[in-house]
Structure 1
């Protein structure tokens, strides 16, 4: 049997909701502390979308748009958008996860 290389990286994709207390607690109590200890062994891709839904609609002016509804309302959609931009703007996974963790500590990100 082969032994796994010490350079093996575990890939994790986390779909979460920025206003969900369970997501916030998981990020601050589990994910962030684990990443601080094992960051070199884990590649985390954050996807702040969670239980949001997308629906194609046609507005009164006949323009077709995609409507996104978030589980915890419009504030969550805004926070998800902010986190998505922050994640996209930095190539440093540590910094983007640190930012999301910071927002998750807040009761109202």
Structure 2
């Protein structure tokens, strides 16, 4: 017999032997395990994006101070910080005066100074949990009228155990001006343009006069689960003059302007 014809015959006989042995085992009640199928690896869980929350403000605006001290603190008190990216932009209704690009603030030089100090705090401590502590303290002091502009923020640093040197160095080096000009550019190119402060924006949509209900908008916009404690018993509070979209944003016709 030709050797090339003999090889397929051996393969066939081997297959018949294995099949017969398996049948014999199964007839005796012996379980024969099949080769397991490759396990399908599950992909990583879908990442839920945080809600973008931005406050455009100026440091000596009465409405801004009240909002930061009494309302925006809820981001931290109610666990919302876990679902939002909070940004603060201290420029507000300031404007740049030609020809030397002098920055003029609505509430005078003291406001320009504090805007710069808070811009430096944001730059020095990028973690919002850190720089918000200082900003909250400074704004609370301006409400109470306890300290002068310079002594006020420094006393807050001492109270909070924060090193004031990075902020002072930022201000003295002139970096504060670059930061403020960046904030000016961002504020002046908002769409729609801001018409007053505080100007609160959730996922690129301004809340207009309903800004104090920002928690409702944030909770509605967040698609993750479970929602933080601050959201669980909260229903969207949409201004009666506006219509909510699928993300809980309100598009409200502004009937008046707040410029102080």
User: What TM bracket, shorter-length normalisation?
Assistant: 0.7 to 0.9
Residue 40 of structure 1 pairs with residue 82 of structure 2: yes
Q: 2:68 maps to which residue?
A: 27
Paired residues of 1:86 and 1:96 also in contact (CA < 8 A): yes
Query: 2: CA distance between counterparts of 1:34 and 1:97?
Result: 11
Which structure features the higher share of strand residues? 1
| Per-residue Cα deviation, 1:15-38 (whole angstroms, up to 9, x for no partner) | 101011110000011111233321
**What TM-score does the superposition give when structure 2 sets the normalisation length?**
0.36
Q: How big is the shift at 1:6?
A: 8.0
Query: 2: CA distance between counterparts of 1:104 and 1:11?
Result: 23
Which of 125, 130, 138 is 1:90 aligned to? 125
| CA RMSD between the two structures | 1.7
Query: 1: CA distance between counterparts of 2:55 and 2:104?
Result: 19
Q: Where do 5+ consecutive residues of structure 2 fail to align?
A: 1-45, 150-260
**CA pair 94-21 structure 1, distance change in 2 beyond 3 A:** same
Query: 1: CA distance between counterparts of 2:77 and 2:129?
Result: 8
Q: How big is the shift at 1:98?
A: 1.3
Q: How big is the shift at 1:66?
A: 1.3
Give the number of the structure whose alpha-carbon radius of gyration is greater: 2
Query: 2: CA distance between counterparts of 1:35 and 1:54?
Result: 34
Q: 1:13 maps to which residue?
A: 54
Q: Where do 5+ consecutive residues of structure 1 fail to align?
A: 58-64
